[in-house]
Amino acid sequence: MWPFGGQVQQFRVHYKDETAIEKLSLELQKKLEAYFLPTGKQLAIVCIGTDRSTGDSLGPLTGTLLSRAYPTIPVFGTLDDPVHAANLSEKLTEINYMLKKPFIIAIDACLGQTESIGYLSFKDGALKPGTGVNKDLPEIGDMNIVGIVNVGGFMEYFVLQNTRLNLVMQMAELLSTCLGKAILSLSMFLPQTNAAASKWLE
Q: What is the pLDDT of residue 6?
A: 42
Q: What is the pLDDT of residue 162?
A: 87
- Give the number of domains in the chain: 1
Pairing of strands 43-47, 75-76: parallel
Confidence of residue 134 (pLDDT cuts 50, 70, 90): low
Residue 181: domain span: 2-186
- Please write the tens of the pLDDT for every residue from 162-171: 899 999 999 9
Percent of the chain with pLDDT over 90: 67
Q: What is the pLDDT of residue 195?
A: 42
Does residue 194 sit within a domain?
no
Does residue 142 sit within a domain?
yes
Percent of the chain with pLDDT over 70: 85
Asked if pLDDT for residue 77 goes beyond 50, the answer is yes
Does residue 200 sit within a domain?
no
Does residue 97 sit within a domain?
yes
Does residue 195 sit within a domain?
no
Beta bridge partners of residue 43, listed in sequence order: 103
Confidence of residue 101 (pLDDT cuts 50, 70, 90): confident
Q: What is the pLDDT of residue 5?
A: 39
Mean pLDDT of the 81-100 span: 92
Does residue 197 sit within a domain?
no
H helices present in the chain, as ranges:
20-31, 58-69, 88-99, 156-161, 165-184, 190-201
Asked if pLDDT for residue 107 goes beyond 70, the answer is yes
- Please write the tens of the pLDDT for every residue from 24-71: 999 999 999 999 999 889 999 999 999 999 999 999 999 999 999 999
In sign, the C-alpha dihedral spanning 123, 125, 129, 133 is negative
Q: What is the pLDDT of residue 100?
A: 79
Does residue 11 sit within a domain?
yes
CATH number for 97: 3.40.50.1450
What residues have CB less than 8 Å from 34, skipping those under 6 apart? none
First to last CA, the chain: 30
Does residue 199 sit within a domain?
no
Mean pLDDT of the 141-161 span: 89
Q: What is the pLDDT of residue 88?
A: 93
Whole-angstrom Cα distance, residue 139 to residue 7?
Answer: 13
Please state, rounded to an integer, the average pLDDT across all residues of the chain. Answer: 86
Asked if pLDDT for residue 198 goes beyond 80, the answer is no
Asked if pLDDT for residue 132 goes beyond 60, the answer is no
Q: What is the pLDDT of residue 152?
A: 85
Whole-angstrom Cα distance, residue 61 to residue 64?
Answer: 5
